[in-house]
Amino acid sequence: MTPISGLNNEAIRSLAAPEKTQGAPKVQKPEEPQICHPKAMMDEYVPEEPGEPSGRYWMGKDEEGQPKIHFDDPEKAAGAPKKPEEKWVCDTGKVDREIEKLKKKQQELKQQLGTETNEARIKELERQLAQAEQELSEKDNDTYRKQHSTFTQIS
């Protein structure tokens, strides 16, 4: 370390009056080149004409502010040709008659089983009754009715 008394006095200049100091070079400010600040880039909304419906779904809100799923239906578009409305009738009568027949058969087998005394005949009736109940459980449901119903076009 150097003691303060050993400092070079010429190196220290007064900050109060820089113009009066001899030997101080004048500092010139460099010329600032003219900088063109480009206009700030901003996104701009450009409304589009509604295009052809694409068949897409999106979430939105209804008139009351509740969430709603919207569908862009190509068939409901103004330019789309309207198809004549088709009407179909579903008939499950055949299936219902089949199920009623099985229920009657089950009822008859139960009655015969109650009055029968022969062991061999009782086992045969129990086997037939179990088969009828199995068939009834397979057929007496909505899935079977839908699969075996008849559809007829009325218009």
Where do the domains of the chain lie?
Answer: 104-153
The token duo for 15 is 């900050």
- How does DSSP assign 16-61, residue by residue? S-TTTSTTPPPPPPPPPP---PPPPP---------------EEEEE
Q: Which residue type is seen at 114?
A: G
pLDDT in tens, 90-125: 999 999 999 999 999 999 999 998 888 888 899 999
Question: What is the reported pLDDT for 132?
Answer: 93
Taking the C-alpha atoms of residue 31 and residue 116, their distance in angstroms, rounded to an integer, is 123
Tell me the whole-structure pTM to 2 decimals: 0.44
Pairing, β 57-61 against β 150-153: unpaired
